[in-house]
Amino acid sequence: MRKINHVYIDGQFVTPHGTELLPLFNPATEQVIGEVRLADRTDALAAINAAKRAFPGFSKTSKEERIALLDRLSASFTERLDDLKAAMVEEYGAVRGVVDGLLPLTPGMFSAASKLLESYEFTRTRETTTVTMRPLGVAVAITPWNLSIAFVAQKVASAIAAGATIVVKPSELSAIQTQVMIEAFDAADVPPGVINVVNGRGDVVGDVLTTHPDVAKVGFTGSTAVGQQIMRNAADTLKRVTLELGGKGPSILLDDADIPSAVSAALSSGFLNNGQTCFAGTRILAPQSKLEEILEAIKSAMPAFKAGDPRDPATGVGPVVSQKQFDRVQGYIRLGQEEGAKLLAGGEGRPEGLEIGWFVKPTVFANVTNQMRIAREEIFGPVIVVIPFKDDAEAVSIANDTPYGLQAQVFSSNDDRAHRVARQIDAGTVLINRIIGDQEAPFGGIKQSGIGRENHIYGLEAYLEPCAITA
C-alpha cells in the first residue's frame, strides 16, 4: 500500500495541512493500492503565496536561464519515464500503445518550449512604440486524471518559458502520477516557489485557486461542466482562462477512403486511452453508399481492440478509471439500445473472462442518428457510434451539429477533397488521414470544447500580456 502524504510547495515536500485520506484503486483489479492525504484550503493558499513570492525574481530571469531550466525539466522527465508509465498503467489502466506512444511526448513539451524561446522576441518596436510581452503573474494549472502528466507539462512548459510562476492541481485520481511528477520537478532544480503542486478536491483546493485575487491565469483541462464553473469563478477578478474541455469528435470516412485502413484508424481514435480521450473520434460518419462494407470492416477490425489487462502488450482497451465511470458508461450502452441504435459490437456487462475490474466491452453502435443522446453526449468510455451520410455536404453538416468542436478526422484518398471538407469543419483541429496531431500546432476547442489554445507559441502567449509604451 502506497501512502502519499506530500505536496510540493516553495521547493519543499511538505505534509499537507489537510487531513482527508482518499483511497486509490487499480481499475484493473478494483483493489485499493494506496491512499493519498488531500491538501485543503490552507495548503492552496500556501502554494499561491509561494508562487507570488517567487514571481518578481523569476519574471526577471533571462531567456538563457529559462532555457536551461526547461532543458533540465526535459531531462528530468525523460529520466522518470518508466516510473510515469508504470503509474499510468497501475492508476488508470493505460495500455501499452498509450504509455509508449503518447507519454514520451511529455519531455518533448519542455524541450520544444526551450527551442521556441531561443528565437522568441519578447520586445518589439514599431515607430515610437515598444511592446513588451510580460509574464502575467501567478498561473494555476488544473488537470484531469487521463494523461495527467502531459496536460500538466503543456501548461508548466508555457508558464516557465513566459517567466510566470505556477501552482498545479492535478486530479485527485492521479496521485501516483503526481508523486512521480513532483519528484521530477524537484530533481530539475526548479527555483523555490516557481512550480508548486497541491493535490486535493476540485470544490476545495480548485475553488481557492480559481477565485483567489493573486492568481492571474487559470489553465484548465477537464470536463465542460467544470470549465464553466471555473470561468464563473474567474470572472470576479477577471483572470485569464484557457479551457481545454470535452469533445464528441467526428471521424468522416469519405466514399473514396481506403476502407480497411480508415476503419482501423477511426476505431483507434475512438477507443484511444480506453475511450477516455477528449479528442477521441467517437462518431464515425460513414457514406450511405459504402455503409455495409464499412460495418463489415468494423466487425473484422474489432479483435485488435480486445479488452484486457493493461500490462499485456496485446491488450487494445484497458479498464475505465472508476466504478462511477463504469456505471456511467454502462448506462449509455443501455440508453443506446433504448434509443433504437443497433449493437454492432460489444454491449452491456463485462467482457468475457473479465469478472473483476472496471472493464467495458469495446462497443460500436450502428443505426444511429445524430439526434440520439449517445451521438451528442461525451460518454468517456469505449463506445463509438456510426452515423450514415448521403454526400460530403451532409457529412459536414452532421459533423458540425454538436455542442463540441475539439478535433475531427477526415479520411479520403483525394487531398483536395479532404482539405475542402476539413476547411468546413467547426473544430480547433482537423486531421487528414491521421489521428494524432502535430505537437507544434495550436491545440484547443471551439464552442463548448473550450477557450484558448495550448502548444508552442500559442500556448506561450497565453501566459504573456502585451504591454505598450509609446513615447
Q: Rule CB under 6 A: which residues touch ligand NAD?
A: 142-146, 169, 171-172, 202-203, 206-207, 210, 221-223, 226, 229-230, 244-247, 278, 378, 380, 406, 445, 450
CB-nearer residue toward ligand NAD: 245 or 295: 245
- Return all residues near 320 (Cβ < 8 A) that are at least 6 apart: 27, 93, 274, 275, 276, 326, 329, 358, 359, 360, 380, 381, 382
For residue 173, what is the DSSP state?
A: G
CB-nearer residue toward ligand NAD: 201 or 290: 201
Angstrom distance (rounded) from CA 302 to CA 317 = 11
Residue 298 sits at the vertex; the CA angle it makes with 293 and 301, to the nearest 5 degrees, is 125
Q: Is 420 in contact with 264 (CB distance < 8 Å)?
A: no
User: Is 467 in the active site?
Assistant: no
CB-nearer residue toward ligand NAD: 109 or 133: 109
Angstrom distance (rounded) from CA 240 to CA 196 = 19
CB-nearer residue toward ligand NAD: 55 or 145: 145
Q: Which of 90, 172, 244, 454 is catalytic?
A: 244
Angstrom distance (rounded) from CA 164 to CA 133 = 12
Kindly state the smallest distance separating residue 433's Cβ from ligand NAD, in Å: 22
Query: Exposed, middle or buried, 1 (CB in 10 Å: 0-12/13-18/19+)?
Result: exposed
| Nearest C-alpha neighbor of 310 from the set 35, 102, 34, 97 | 97
Kindly state the smallest distance separating residue 447's Cβ from ligand NAD, in Å: 12
| Nearest C-alpha neighbor of 227 from the set 202, 205, 249 | 202
Residue nearest to ligand NAD (CB): 202
Angstrom distance (rounded) from CA 240 to CA 357 = 40
Kindly state the smallest distance separating residue 202's Cβ from ligand NAD, in Å: 2
- Return all residues near 412 (Cβ < 8 A) that are at least 6 apart: 254, 256, 257, 418, 421, 432, 433
CB-nearer residue toward ligand NAD: 68 or 451: 451
Q: Which of 90, 91, 172, 278 is catalytic?
A: 278
Q: How many CB atoms lie within 10 A of CB 238?
A: 8
CB-nearer residue toward ligand NAD: 149 or 421: 149
User: Is 278 in the active site?
Assistant: yes
Q: Is 185 in contact with 214 (CB distance < 8 Å)?
A: no
Kindly state the smallest distance separating residue 449's Cβ from ligand NAD, in Å: 6
Angstrom distance (rounded) from CA 121 to CA 114 = 13
Kindly state the smallest distance separating residue 88's Cβ from ligand NAD, in Å: 14
Helical pair 148-162 and 175-187, crossing angle rounded to 10 deg: 30
| Nearest C-alpha neighbor of 298 from the set 276, 267, 254 | 267
Buried b (16+ CB within 10 A) or exposed e, 318-339: bbbbbeebbeebbebbeebeeb
- Calculate the CA dihedral of residues 326, 331, 337, 341 and round it to 10 degrees: -70
Q: Is 90 in contact with 33 (CB distance < 8 Å)?
A: yes
Kindly state the smallest distance separating residue 87's Cβ from ligand NAD, in Å: 16
CB-nearer residue toward ligand NAD: 197 or 286: 197
Kindly state the smallest distance separating residue 322's Cβ from ligand NAD, in Å: 9
- Calculate the CA dihedral of residues 253, 257, 262, 263 and round it to 10 degrees: 60
Kindly state the smallest distance separating residue 229's Cβ from ligand NAD, in Å: 5
Farthest CA pair distance, the chain: 75
| Nearest C-alpha neighbor of 196 from the set 218, 169, 222 | 169
CB-nearer residue toward ligand NAD: 39 or 253: 39
Angstrom distance (rounded) from CA 247 to CA 448 = 8
Kindly state the smallest distance separating residue 403's Cβ from ligand NAD, in Å: 12
CB-nearer residue toward ligand NAD: 314 or 446: 446
Active site members: 244, 278
